[in-house]
Structure formats: C-alpha cells, structure tokens
Amino acid sequence: MIECKTSKEIGGMGHSKKRKEDARFIQGKGHYVDDVKLPGMVYMDIVRSPYAYAKIKKIDASKALAIPGVLAVVTGKDLEQYNLHWMPTLMSDTQMVLSTDTVMYQAQEVAAVIATDKYIARDGRDAVIVEYEPMPPVMDPFKSLDPNAPVLRTDKEGKTNNHIWHWEVGDKEKTEDVFSQADVVVKQQMHIPRIHVASIETCGCVAAYNKVENHLTMYMTTQAPHAIRTVIALVAGHVGLTEEKVRVISPDIGGGFGGKVPVYPGYVIAIAVSFLTGLPVKWIEDRSENLQADSFARDYHITAEMAGTKDGQILATRFKVLADHGYTDASANPSKFPTGLFSIGTGSYNYHNAYMEADAVYTNKPPGGVAYRCSFRVTEAVHAIERITDIYAREIGRDPADLRMQNFIKKDEFPWASPTGWSYDSGDYHAGLQKAMDAIGYHELRKEQTELRKQGKLMGIGISTFTEVVGAGPSKDFDILGIKMFDSAEIRVHPTGKAIARFGTKSQGQGHETTYAQIVAEELGIPMEHIQVEEGDTDTAPYGLGTYASRSTPTAGAAAVMAARKLRDKAKKIAAYLLEVSEEDLEWEPGKFFVKGAPEKAKSIQEIVFASYTNHPPGMEAGFEATHYYDPPNLTFPSGAYICVVDVDPETCHIKIRRFVAIDDCGNIINPMIVQGQVHGGLTQGLAPAMYEELIYDEAGNILNGTFMDYLVPTAVESPSWETGHTVTPSPHHPIGAKGVGESPTVGAPPAIVNAIVDAVSHLGIKHLEIPVTPYKLFKELKAVGYFK
C-alpha cells in the first residue's frame, strides 16, 4: 500500500481519486475541436494524391466550382503567391503544404476545397480532376540507398542521394575489440514496423482569423499549443501574424500519443484560407486520411548484436539502424537527437561497451515518425535489447530470467553511467523482476511448459525488463526548434482558499486535471476538489512545450511542486505574522502551520490565504500566486519487469495470452488509479504492434490497410486481463520523486509478448519472429521449419 501524507479530504499524493475530468467525458459533454462552431464558418476538405510518386500535370477545378456551395479550390500555386506552399518540419527538414508540381507519397495534399458545409466540401473534393504522370516510387529503404535509385528530394539543392543523416554514439573501436574477443556473439536483424497512433479523435482545426483585429484564433488538435503558436509566428510572421496576434486553443483532445505533436499541411491551409477570406475555416480529417497521411511511428530496421561470455555475462552490444522516414523527416524529436533517445538501448544491464549507429533515408511514404506513446524511439531500442538478450540466453542455454538477474545494474550502482552517455537516476531491477516472477509463478510455469511440450502443446513464457528514459528534458541538451524543454505551472489561490492552476502541458486523456490538483493539494493542503486545472490556451497558460514523451509529471508536475513551495514559504511568513511567532517556531502539516509544541495555536492554509488578501504583513506583496518554470536537472528513468505467458494453438497457430504481469517502477505514485489506467492502456498499445498493427504498402506505393477494417487496432476482446503491480524507487532529483509512467507499458510490452511466442516454438527451431506476430506469420514460420507438412 502507498502511504499518504494527506487526509482523504485533501487528497494529495497516493490517493486513488476519481478523475475530475471524467464527469464531462462520461456524459458526452467534452468539448473537442469538432464541437467548435463559429458564425460564418466554412468547411475544408482535401484532395489527396492516389499515387506515391507522380508529376502533377493539371488541376481542373471547374466541375467542383460548379457545385452550389463550393466557394473555392485552393492549390499549391495559390499558396506559392504568399510563400506558404512549403513549411519546416520539427526536425528542420522541409515539407510541402500543397504540392505545386510533384507528389511524393500516396494521400499527399494536392488541393483544398472550401465549401459551405462538410458534405458539399466532400462532393467538391471528388469533383476536382487532377492529371498525374506517375513515376516508379522508392518504397524499400534499403533500395533507397542504391546509387541507381532516383533522387527523391530534388527540391533540395545539391542533393545527390536519398540519405538524410547519419548518427552514432558509443565507443566504436573498443566495442569492436570486445566483440572480436568474445566467446559468444549473437546477431539478429529485426524490423520495428511502421505503425500509426490511431487516436480515436482524428486531427483537425478551426482557423478563425479576424481581419479587423488582425488576430488569429486557432482551435487545434495539438499536444503542444505553445510550441505551435511559436511555429505559426515563425512561419507566418512575414504576412503579419506575429506571436501576440495568435492564440492557439487546444480543447479536449481525444487521444494524442505523439500523433498530435507535428504540424500537418491541413492546419496551414486552413490558416491561409482563413487569413485570406476572414472566414473561420474548419478542417477535420476522416479516419482514412488520418491513417494514410498523418505521421507514422517506428519503422526502424535494426541489426542487433550482443557479445558475452559462455557463462552469461553480457560484455557489449552493437546496434545498426536504417530509419525509413518517408518523404521528409517530420519526426518530433528534440533537435540534438535525430534518433530520439534510442541510445537508451543498452537497457538495464551493467556492461560498459556499446556502439550504435543509424542512417535515415527518404522513401515515397508519408512523413514521420512520431514518438508514439514512447519517449522518442525508446520502444525500438527496448525491443532490440530485450530480444537480443533473450537470443543470447537461448544461445548459451540459460534461463532468460536468470541471465537478466545476473546482468542487472545493482541498486547501489546508481547513478549508473551508461556506455551511451546517460546517467540513470535510480532503480531496483532485481526487486522488480523478482516480484513479477513471484506474481506469475515463474518456476512452476517452466515445469508446466516441460510437461506440455511432451504432450505436443505449445506454451511460452516471455520476459521484458526494460529501462525507460522520460521527462525531456534538461535545457543543456533538450530543445525543439531551439526552445528549451522546460515546463511550467502557475498557481493562483483565491481569497477563499480555492485555486486555479495552469500549465504549459496539455492532457489528451492522461488525467492532468486530477493529477496536478493532487500535486498542489499535497504541497499546499488545499483539497484537490478545490483546485481547478487549466491547460491548452496560449492566452492564459504559462509557456511550455506540451505533453508527450511522458514528460508532464517530470516537468510540469515538478513545476507545480516548486510553485506551490514558493507559496508555502509565503504562507509561513503570513502564519508567523498572524500567530505573532517567528517562522522558526512554526511547523507544517498538510493544510496548516502550527506552533511547535502548541498544536492548538495554528493557522489553516485557508486562513493564511484569506489574510494574504485582507491582512497581509506590512512590506509583503499582497495576493497568493506563484509561477515556476522547471528545468529538470536530469531525465528520469522508470523501469519495469513484465512477464507474459502464451498458449499457441498447434493447428491454427492462434496465440492466446494466458497471463501478463506488469510490475512498473515509476517512482513515487501520485494517483494509483490513474497510473493503473495508464498501464492498462499502454499495455494494450504494446500488444498492438506485437501482434496486430502494421502499415503495409505495396511496391507501387499503395497503402493496403488504410482503414480500421484492415489496420487492426486490438480491442477489449483481444486484450488479456492485465495484472499490474509496482515497486517504488523514487527519482532522487525530482522534487516529489516521481518518474512518469504513460509510456512504460507501450515500450515494455512488445518484447515480453514476442519473447513468449518465440519461447513457445523455440524447440521447433524458431529463433526469432518479426512483429506483428500474427497466426498467419507464425504458420508460415512453422511451415518453413517443417512443423507443418
């Protein structure tokens, strides 16, 4: 049980409070972008390319314009007049808003139809006739580097190939030395396929430009409203939209998962049309557009190698990555980290030599990739290390749990300097795995497996013991487009002792309205019910970089603590004044200051706040408000130990997850129920790529599964009953010892599932299975090793 310092009424850290935001969500009273309706609003739909690579010969809008209600058809040539046909990506690459001559991927934006309602806009879209001259696309990232491959980005002066960047970290020579002398070396090629966040709310906006005021209000599905406002000002400042004239409002968001960090062409077109017409313009993607055109995630081809001793000591790892970025590098990584935080891939193990390198290439696929519920490429890294660790264990005939126990970084070895440059803050990996093994009955399962194999039954047990890296990030290393990745909180306590707290982050379902209220309640002793949390309006909230990468609690949560502590210091001074004692004589307990040794002489926080407005000490500033911008000293390093048990039907290859135990360590827990909910959702989103999801393209560049009919998002039916638990190793540098949890399960689950499936069939000669591991794929693999005649 988690110990709580505050009463249930105050509801600070550790209380499983029901989410404050759920009342409106459960009753269908949330307010999303598509709920925004403004007088005179017009609707936009987008004509998209059916080809992956083609020249645009002609755009004929006459039939569309003849439809009553169609107001305009906007093309790249129209935007070119205002120099708005191109935009920068968050990775300082460039991207077309609307093409003027060439389309680079299927579903790329070619023209926009503006109409009086969305139905007419769709009819207009289908009436625009575009003549294309198709060209053979480059779909295979390996072939993209072929010297004979066509150069895709001819818009970039002097570009002679499709290579975007090379990245490397670690000591290459020392690592090679260790590999050349090691007794055991294992190597595995693996693909972490292209997937999509598939949030239930698609992307969209209402751009409302007021010509009289020269002011733009942008209602938008964004996880980072402040950053977006700055980007708009940087891109459109030349036409008069300077930053003070732009207000970005991110209302309720129906799932983000990283997919609502980038700027999509649709947003820019809507702004341009509103700017030119003075009319509010609504654009809402449909499901297929969302799946087919918005930023993908993952798509790393990894060659993972591990060197070790015969008795199971890991000595070194080497990862080589080919990253398929599609038409442009539209990742949402911090500037200095083109592969995100992939270098966390040395994992939870105490070895000292590692080398990683990555090369990114252009292809004729949609751009990306976003950090899908994953702190910038950590999912890819964790999959590589946890799979190769299992392959190593199998190679030397060791139990995978045993081998992990042997190699874990020990509790007293923190802070741990990883060979790729991280300083892990804290962890207790042995305790986590032991707890997971006890919960699932690991040794009994191994005995059962032996028995089942004798009967021809297929059962497997898979482990993943991962280290996450979240909370980006310290300003010395972390920025997006130059803006440092701090985050902020502003607390205003009203005279009656109730508060409003505003943040630079933006919840998309994480429960910030509850979690942040509990943090403030913990620090100030004001009941969490009376702390109103607001985010998402750049006119009212303090500046921050938004919510993704499990950064909200580590950054904005810490900012709330620091702002609240400023207020507590002020409260102490006021209490001393009211009680006529010196500050040193006062002691704090949640909700009041009292005189040491005389607890009846006390002032409640409510009395103190009231005094700050009615009777504040002479010389002190009146009121009770504080703001803090928190620049984290380090990242936080949550960890987890997951164990999965699968039963495989020996005839149909149907894979059933019998049990899944997830022991997470996210440091101190603010709301156990919210954490559990996050873990359930995250595990399901880890199950998705492990067994179901993958964006599939044919050689001609067509997406083969651009709807939910074929892009298989698992539901409650496919999900096992998740069993969750915790170890608690507080972060030593975070003011309340919290680490962040939203992504851990998404990151940690896939290798646990795949390790379990491989374990179920390893005795039949299978060493590795690529994700998603479907029954069909498993059948083909088992057929290949002669299991099926």
Partner 1 sequence: MIAEPFNYDAPSTLDEAFAMLEAHGDEAKILAGGHSLIPMMKLRFSSPTHLIDINRIPGLAYIKEEDGYLKIGAMTREVDLEDSDLIARKYHIFKDATHLIADPQVRNFGTIGGNLAHGDAANDHPAVMLALGAEVEISSKEGKRTVPIDEFFFGFYTTAVQPGEILTEIRIPAASGKYGSAYYKVERKAGDYAAAGVAAMVQLDGNGNCVKAGIGLTNVNPLPMRASRSEEALVGNQPTDDLIELAARYASEDCNPSEDLRGDEEYKRHLVKVITKRMLKLAIERAQNA
Q: Which residues are catalytically annotated?
A: 223, 373-374, 743
CA atoms of 455 and 573, how far apart (whole Å)? 75
Selected binder of partner 1 within 37, 180, 597, 717 (CB under 8 A): 717
Per CB under 8 A, 424 contacts partner 1: no
Stretches 78-86, 256-264, 299-307, 649-657: which one binds partner 1 (CB under 8 A)?
A: 649-657
CA atoms of 99 and 46, how far apart (whole Å)? 12
State the nearest-atom distance from the C-beta of 709 to partner 1, in Å: 8
Q: Pick between residue 287 and residue 573 the one whose CB is nearest to partner 1.
A: 287
Selected binder of partner 1 within 718, 720, 728, 770 (CB under 8 A): 718
Per CB under 8 A, 160 contacts partner 1: no
Alpha helices (H) along 355-492 = 378-395, 400-407, 429-440, 442-454
Per CB under 8 A, 786 contacts partner 1: no
Task: Give 402-413 as a DSSP string.
Answer: HHHHHHBPPGGG
Q: Pick between residue 255 and residue 714 the one whose CB is nearest to partner 1.
A: 714
Per CB under 8 A, 200 contacts partner 1: no
Please say whether the beta carbons of 767 and 758 come within 8 A: yes
Amino acid occupying residue 525: G
Per CB under 8 A, 28 contacts partner 1: no
Q: Pick between residue 296 and residue 516 the one whose CB is nearest to partner 1.
A: 296
Q: Pick between residue 200 and residue 622 the one whose CB is nearest to partner 1.
A: 200
Selected binder of partner 1 within 83, 780, 784, 785 (CB under 8 A): 780
Per CB under 8 A, 787 contacts partner 1: no
Per CB under 8 A, 784 contacts partner 1: no
Per CB under 8 A, 651 contacts partner 1: yes
Tell me the CB-side half-sphere exposure of residue 708, using CA atoms within 13 A: 11
Please say whether the beta carbons of 489 and 503 come within 8 A: yes
Strand partners, 301: 191, 322
Q: Pick between residue 159 and residue 287 the one whose CB is nearest to partner 1.
A: 287
Tell me the CB-side half-sphere exposure of residue 546, using CA atoms within 13 A: 32
Q: Tell me which residue of 32, 615, 547, 506 sits closest to 282, measured CA to CA.
A: 32
Q: Pick between residue 172 and residue 777 the one whose CB is nearest to partner 1.
A: 777
State the nearest-atom distance from the C-beta of 717 to partner 1, in Å: 4
Per CB under 8 A, 174 contacts partner 1: no
Q: Pick between residue 520 and residue 771 the one whose CB is nearest to partner 1.
A: 771
Give Cα separations from 52 to 105, 134, 242, 297 (angstroms): 4, 8, 36, 19
State the nearest-atom distance from the C-beta of 119 to partner 1, in Å: 6
Q: Pick between residue 100 and residue 774 the one whose CB is nearest to partner 1.
A: 774
State the nearest-atom distance from the C-beta of 780 to partner 1, in Å: 7
Give residues with Cβ within 8 angstroms of 38, minimum separation 6: 206, 208, 280
Q: Pick between residue 209 and residue 296 the one whose CB is nearest to partner 1.
A: 296
Q: Pick between residue 25 and residue 119 the one whose CB is nearest to partner 1.
A: 119
State the nearest-atom distance from the C-beta of 368 to partner 1, in Å: 22
Selected binder of partner 1 within 239, 712, 728, 764 (CB under 8 A): 712
Site string for partner 1, 534-553 (x = CB under 8 A): --------------------
Q: Is 152 exposed, middle or buried (0-12, 13-18, 19+ CB in 10 A)?
A: buried
State the nearest-atom distance from the C-beta of 654 to partner 1, in Å: 7
State the nearest-atom distance from the C-beta of 434 to partner 1, in Å: 35
Selected binder of partner 1 within 100, 188, 288, 702 (CB under 8 A): 288
Per CB under 8 A, 189 contacts partner 1: no
Per CB under 8 A, 287 contacts partner 1: yes
Amino acid occupying residue 101: D
Element (H or E) spanning 463, and its range? strand 458-467
Interface of this chain with partner 1, residues 95 to 134, rule: CB under 8 A = 118-119, 122-123, 126
State the nearest-atom distance from the C-beta of 194 to partner 1, in Å: 15
Stretches 477-485, 511-519, 656-664, 775-783: which one binds partner 1 (CB under 8 A)?
A: 775-783
Task: Please provide the size of the chain in residues.
Answer: 789
Q: Tell me which residue of 110, 107, 106 sits closest to 98, measured CA to CA.
A: 110
Amino acid occupying residue 349: Y
CA atoms of 483 and 477, how far apart (whole Å)? 11
State the nearest-atom distance from the C-beta of 266 to partner 1, in Å: 16
Per CB under 8 A, 770 contacts partner 1: no
CA atoms of 284 and 275, how far apart (whole Å)? 18
Angle at Cα 85 formed by Cα 108 and Cα 700, nearest 5°? 20
CA atoms of 271 and 258, how far apart (whole Å)? 22
Per CB under 8 A, 242 contacts partner 1: no
Strands 184-195 and 296-308: antiparallel
Q: Pick between residue 350 and residue 774 the one whose CB is nearest to partner 1.
A: 774
Per CB under 8 A, 774 contacts partner 1: yes
Interface of this chain with partner 1, residues 585 to 604, rule: CB under 8 A = none
Give residues with Cβ within 8 angstroms of 598, minimum separation 6: none
Q: Is 26 exposed, middle or buried (0-12, 13-18, 19+ CB in 10 A)?
A: exposed
Selected binder of partner 1 within 254, 714, 725, 732 (CB under 8 A): 714
321 SS3 class = strand
Stretches 138-146, 212-220, 540-548, 651-659: which one binds partner 1 (CB under 8 A)?
A: 651-659
Size of the site for partner 1 (CB under 8 A): 30
Please say whether the beta carbons of 727 and 744 come within 8 A: no
CA atoms of 2 and 15, how far apart (whole Å)? 8
184 SS3 class = strand
50 SS3 class = coil
The three state secondary structure string of 598-650 is: EEEEEEEHHHHHHHHHHCCCCCCCCCCEEEEEECCCCCECCEEEEEEEEEECC
Per CB under 8 A, 156 contacts partner 1: no
Per CB under 8 A, 484 contacts partner 1: no
CA atoms of 389 and 349, how far apart (whole Å)? 10
State the nearest-atom distance from the C-beta of 705 to partner 1, in Å: 6
Q: Pick between residue 277 and residue 705 the one whose CB is nearest to partner 1.
A: 705
- Exposed e or buried b per residue across 271-307, where buried means at least 16 C-beta atoms within 10 angstroms of its C-beta: bbbbbbbebbbbbbbeebbbbbbbbbbbbbbbebbbb
Q: Which two tokens stand for residue 332?
A: 């949402």
Stretches 28-36, 286-294, 337-345, 573-581: which one binds partner 1 (CB under 8 A)?
A: 286-294
State the nearest-atom distance from the C-beta of 718 to partner 1, in Å: 5
State the nearest-atom distance from the C-beta of 703 to partner 1, in Å: 11
State the nearest-atom distance from the C-beta of 197 to partner 1, in Å: 18
Interface of this chain with partner 1, residues 652 to 711, rule: CB under 8 A = 652, 654, 692, 696, 704-705, 707, 709-710
Alpha helices (H) along 481-604 = 512-524, 558-579
Q: Pick between residue 617 and residue 650 the one whose CB is nearest to partner 1.
A: 650
The residues that touch partner 1, with contacts defined as CB under 8 A, are 118-119, 122-123, 126, 286-288, 651-652, 654, 692, 696, 704-705, 707, 709-710, 712, 714-715, 717-718, 774-776, 779-780, 783, 788
